[in-house]
Chain A
C-alpha cells in the first residue's frame, strides 16, 4: 500500500498524533503511579504526586480529544472498538477514575490508613490503566475477529491472549521507565539518587520486553512489515525509535536527565509511529476474515466533516500546544512542597 495524502490519511495521522500525545504525556503520569509504592515515606510520596499534580488532568485531555477525534473522523472504528472491548473499557474507566480521585483525595486527610488506601489506589489504577492501553494496542496489531457487519465477534477472554498481554507488559514497562526518568528530572537529593538507581533497572526491563515484542511481531504478525517492505524509506521511523531508546541510558549515564526524558518521548513517538506504519490504512484489522477489517476509508465520516475538523484542528491545536508548553515552562524545575501542594 502506498501512502496517498488524502483527508483520510491526514486524519489517520492526526488521531495518531493526539493519541501519541496522550501516551507521551499521560505515560509519565501512569509510570509515576506504577512505581509510586516504591517510595516509602509520606514526603517522598507527596513529591511523586506533586511532580505530576499540576499537569496530569491536562494530559488526560489528550485521550479525551483523541477519542473525540476518532469518533468524529472514523465513527465506525470508534463504535466497533468501544463496544467490542466493552469490559476492558469499563476496567480502563474504573482505573482512570480511581487514579484521578486518588491524586485529588490522598493528601486531603492526615490519617495513615487514608493515605495508604489512596496510595495503593493510585498505584494499582495506574498499573491497570497502563496495562490495558497496551493490551488494546496488542490486539489491534494482532487483529480481532470482526463479523461481516463489522461488529466485534470475539470475547473478553480472547482479548487477553499471550501476544496482547506481552504488548501490555511492554507498554507498562515503557511507562514505568518514562515515569521514572520524569521523576529523576523533578526531584533532588537522596530521593533523586534512589530514583536514579532504579532507572537503569527499568530501562533493562523495558528493552527486554521491547526485544521480545519485536521478535514476536516479526514471527507472528508479518503483515505489520508489509508497508515497510513496500516503502523502505519508512524504516527511518523504527530506526529512530531504536536510536532514541539506545540514547536513554547514555544520557542517564551523563546525568543529563532532561535529554534522557526527551529521548524517552521520542522513543514513544517512534514506536507508535512504527505501529501506524505497520497497520496503515487499517484501523481495526479483522483476524480471521481480513475482508471485514475497518480501514480509514470504510470507517470514515464524510469528507465534509474531515474538512471541518481539519480547520478546527489547525485553528485550535497550535494555540493548545503554545499554552501547554508555557504551562510546563512555568512548572519547570524541582518539586517544592508548599501550602498549595497535594
Chain B
C-alpha cells in the first residue's frame, strides 16, 4: 500500500467515525431549544422531563464528538502537511474561526447545560441551551466553508512561497461565500436535523411500543414528526441546489454521479451499475431528466466525463453508487416522515405499531445518507484535494512513512472500535433507563 492510499483510508475512516456525532449535536441542539423553550412557556413538567433526558443523551454524543474531532484538526498537519502548506493561508483561518466563534461557545455553555440546572435560574439555563445550539450550528458553518472552498475555490490567488506555490486569501468574503457554500451548508444542516429528528422518533416509538414514559414519548414525537418532515423535504430542495451548482462548478463530479460519459443531454438513473472500462452504465434511466433538472430543458447538453482526461476523472462507479443510495435513502426518509405526519394528523401515529417499528429502525437511515453523501462529495472531487488546484497525490506529508501511517491507522482503528461499542452500549443504557421523574 502506498502512503497516499493509507492516508486517505485513515482520513476517511476517522472523519466517517467523527461525523456520526456532530450532526446529532447540531440537530439535538435545535430540539433542546424547542423542548426547553416549550417547558418555559407552558410550565408543563412533561417538557421538563424530556429536556433533562435529551440533555443527558446530548452530553454523551457531544463528548464523543469532541474526542474524535480533535483528531481531525491534527491530521491535516500530520498526514497532509503538503496540503496544509498549500491551503493554510485560506483553510487555517476557517479552522481558527471555528474555534473562536463556535467551539468556545458550545463547550463553554455546555457546562451550564449539563451541570447548571440547580446553579442558575431557568431562563439563564435556557440561554445556555440556545448558546450551545448556536455554537453547534456555527461550527458547521466554518468547517463547511473550509470544505466548500476545497470543492469550489474562490477569493484566492496562487503565490510562490517557501516550498512551492500556495493559495493566499485575496477576498475573505469570496472565500466564505464560495460558489458551493450556501447550497452545502443548508444540505448539511438539513441532514443534521434529520439525524436528530429520527433519533427522537426512534426512542419515542420504542417507549410507545413498550408502553413506558408514554407522555414524554408522545410529546417528543409530536415535535420530531414536524422537524423530520420539514428537514426531509428541504433536503430534496437543498440537494437539488447542490447538484445544480455542481453542474457549473464541478462538472466531472456531476458526470460521475450519473455515469454520464459522453457530452450530450443527460438522463437520470434510478438504479445502475457503471462499467468504467467500457464507459457504459447498465440500469433504469429517465432520459433527459438530469438536463431537465439542471437547466429546465431535457434536450440541453451536459458536460460528460469525456471532457476530462482519464487521470482527472473521479472513480466513477463508487461515486455513482454512493450518490444514488443517498438519494434513495433521502426519498425513503420523505416517505417515512410523510407517513408519520399523515398518521399524526389522523390521530393514529401513537397506536400504529407497524409504523412505530419502522420508526425505531429508521434512526439509521439519516446517518447512512449523511455518510454516503460525504462519500460521493469527497470521492467525486478526486483526483483533486483542492479542485483544479492541488491533486490529492501531491498533498501528502513528505516526512512520514508507510510504517507511520500503518501504525496510526491500526491504533485509531482499535480505539474507535472500542469507543463505538461503548457508545452504543451507553446510549442504549440511557435509553432503557429513560427520563427521570422530576419531583
> B404 contacts which chain A residues (CB < 8 A)?
86-87
Any A CB within 8 A of the CB of B242: no
- B100/A317 in contact, CB under 8 A: yes
Report Cα–Cα, A338/B114, bound state, in Å. 12
Q: Residue B77 at the A interface, CB < 8 A?
A: yes
Stretch from A38-46, A198-206, A229-237, A300-308 that touches the partner: A300-308
Given contacts A61-B103, A71-B84, A323-B108, whether A298 and B162 have CB atoms under 8 Å apart is: yes
Question: What B residues does A57 contact at CB under 8 A?
Answer: 62-63, 66, 107, 110
**Bitwise interface map of A from 2 to 22 toward B, beta carbon under 8 Å scored 1, else 0:** 000000000000000000000
Q: Return the chain A residue nearest B408 by Cβ.
A: A90
B residues 19-46 touching A (CB-CB < 8 Å):
none
Q: Say yes or no: B119 contacts A330, CB within 8 Å.
A: yes
Which of A108, A151, A302, A316 makes the CB contact (< 8 A) with B100?
Answer: A316
Q: Which chain B residues in 186-221 approach chain A with CB under 8 Å?
A: none
The residue from B90, B99, B408, B419 contacting A97, defined by CB atoms under 8 A apart:
B419
Residues of A within 8 A of B111 (CB): 54-55, 58, 327, 330-331
B5 interfacial contact with A, CB 8 Å: no
Whether B78 and A309, one on each chain, are in contact in the complex, defined by CB atoms closer than 8 angstroms, is no
B338 at the interface (CB under 8 A from A): no
**Nearest B-chain residue to A91, judged by Cβ:** B411
Contact B66 A75 (CB under 8 A): no
Indicate if the CB atoms of A104 and B63 lie closer than 8 Å: yes
| Contact pick for A65, options B76, B100, B114, CB 8 Å | B100
In the bound complex, CA of A108 to CA of B419 (Å): 14
Query: Which of B64, B78, B118: most chain A Cβ within 10 A?
Result: B78
Whether B77 contacts A82 by the Cβ 8 Å rule is: yes
A149 near B95 (CB under 8 angstroms)?
no
Cα–Cα distance between A67 and B98 once the two chains are bound (Å): 11
Give Cα distance in the complex from A68 to B97, angstroms. 8
CA–CA, A312 and B97, complex, Å: 7
A75 and B88 in contact (CB under 8 A), knowing A150-B163, A305-B93?
yes
Query: Contact flags (1/0) for A57-97 with B, using CB distance below 8 Å?
Result: 11011011101111111111011111110110110111011
Within B68-92, the residues touching A (CB, 8 Å) are: 68-71, 73-74, 76-79, 81-82, 84-85, 87-92
Contact with A along B406-423 (1 / 0, CB 8 A): 011001100100010010
B426 contacts A105, CB within 8 Å? yes
The reply on B168 being an interface residue by CB < 8 A is yes
Among B63, B67, B107, B168, contact of A304 (Cβ-Cβ < 8 Å): B168
| Contact (Cβ within 8 A) B67 A96 | yes
Chain A interface mostly helix, strand, loop or mixed?
Answer: helix
Interface presence of B358 (CB below 8 A): no
Q: Let me know if B422 and A83 touch, CB within 8 A.
A: no
- Interface set, chain A 113-158, CB cutoff 8 A to B: 149-153
Contact of A75 among B92, B100, B131 (CB under 8 A): B92
Q: Given that A93-B71, A312-B97 are known contacts, is A152 also in contact with B415, CB under 8 Å in the complex?
A: no
Residues of chain A contacted by B89 (CB below 8 angstroms): 72, 75, 301-302, 305
| In the assembled complex, A100 has its CB within 8 A of some CB on chain B | yes
* A89 with B78: CB separation less than 8 A: yes
| Given A61-B99, A313-B100, residue A305 in contact with residue B168 (CB < 8 A) | yes
Q: How far is the CB of A321 from chain B (nearest CB, A)?
A: 9
User: B interface, how many residues as a size bin?
Assistant: 35 or more
Q: Which segment, of B310-318, B364-372, B394-402, faces chain A?
A: B394-402
- Judge whether A152 and B115 touch: CB under 8 Å: no
Q: With a CB–CB cut-off of 8 A, which chain A residues contact B99?
A: 61, 64-65, 68-69
Assess whether B177 is interfacial by the CB under 8 Å rule. Answer: no
Enumerate chain B residues within 8 angstroms of A81, measured Cβ to Cβ: 77
Is B60 on the interface with A (CB-CB < 8 A)?
Answer: yes
A214 interface residue, CB < 8 Å from B? no
**How many angstroms between the C-alpha atoms of A209 and B397 in the bound complex?**
36
Closest to A332 in B: B119
> Which residues of the partner chain A approach B60 to less than 8 Å between Cβ atoms?
104
- CB pair A84–B399 under 8 Å, yes or no, is yes
Query: Inside 8 A of B119's CB, which chain A residues have their CB?
Result: 330-331
By beta carbon, the residue of chain A nearest B398 is A151
Please tell me if B319 contacts chain A, counting CB pairs below 8 Å. Answer: no
Whether the Cβ atoms of B78 and A82 lie closer than 8 Å is yes
Interface centre among A53, A83, A92, A109 (most CB of B within 10 A): A83
Collect the chain B residues with CB atoms within 8 Å of residue A67's CB.
73-74, 95
- Range of interface residues on A (Cβ < 8 Å): 35 or more
| Residues A90 and B59 in contact, CB atoms below 8 Å apart | no
Judging by beta carbons under 8 Å apart, are A312 and B81 in contact?
A: no
Residue of A nearest to B59 (CB): A104
Bound CA span A308–B116, Å: 36
A71 contacts B411, C-beta separation under 8 Å: no
By a CB distance below 8 angstroms, the chain B residues around A82 are 74, 76-78, 81, 84
B270 within 8 A of A: no
Q: A90 — which chain B residues lie within 8 A by C-beta?
A: 78, 407-408, 411-412
Chain A stretch 288-334: residues in CB contact (< 8 A) with chain B:
298-299, 301-302, 304-305, 308-309, 312-313, 316-317, 320, 323-324, 327, 330-331
**Is A341 on the interface with B (CB-CB < 8 A)?**
yes
Q: Tell me which residues across on chain B come within 8 A of A340, comparing CB atoms.
A: 114-115, 117-118
Contact of B74 among A72, A89, A301 (CB under 8 A): A89
Cβ–Cβ contact A101 & B419, under 8 A: yes
Pick from A63, A109, A308, A331: contact of B169, CB under 8 Å: A308
Q: In the complex, which residue of chain A has the Cβ closest to the Cβ of B107?
A: A58
Considering the chains assembled together, what is the distance between the CA atoms of A327 and B407 in angstroms?
A: 40
Residue from A87, A89, A100, A150 in contact with B67 in the complex, judged by beta carbons closer than 8 Å: A100
Tell yes or no: B342 within 8 A of A by CB.
Answer: no
Q: Which residues of B contact A69 (CB under 8 A)?
A: 92, 96, 99
Known: A71-B77, A302-B159. A101 touches B422 (CB 8 A): yes
In the complex, chain A residues whose CB is within 8 Å of the CB of B426: 105, 108
Are the C-beta atoms of B64 and A101 separated by less than 8 Å? yes
Instruction: For B74, list chain A residues within 8 Å (CB).
Output: 67, 82, 89, 92-93
User: Which residue of A is nearest B93, CB measured?
Assistant: A72
User: B179 → chain A, closest Cβ, in Å?
Assistant: 20
B54: Cβ under 8 A from any A Cβ: no
Interface check B104, CB cutoff 8 A:
yes
Per-position binary interface string of chain A over residues 22-63, scored 1 when its CB falls under 8 Å from any chain B CB and 0 otherwise: 000000000000000000000000000000011101101101
Residues of chain A in range 243-301 having any CB-CB distance to chain B below 8 Å: 298-299, 301
- Would you call B295 an interface residue if the criterion is a C-beta within 8 Å of the partner chain's C-beta atoms? no
Residues of A within 8 A of B308 (CB): none
- Closest-by-CB residue of B relative to A154 is B399
In-complex Cβ contact of A63 among B70, B78, B90, B166 (8 A): B70
Chain B residues within 8 Å of A, Cβ to Cβ: 59-60, 62-64, 66-71, 73-74, 76-79, 81-82, 84-85, 87-93, 95-101, 103-105, 107-112, 114-120, 131, 159, 161-163, 166, 168-170, 172, 397-400, 404, 407-408, 411-412, 415, 419, 422, 426, 429
Can you report 9 A-B residue pairs in the complex whose CB atoms are below 8 A from each other? A71-B92, A72-B96, A86-B408, A98-B415, A104-B59, A302-B169, A308-B172, A320-B104, A323-B105
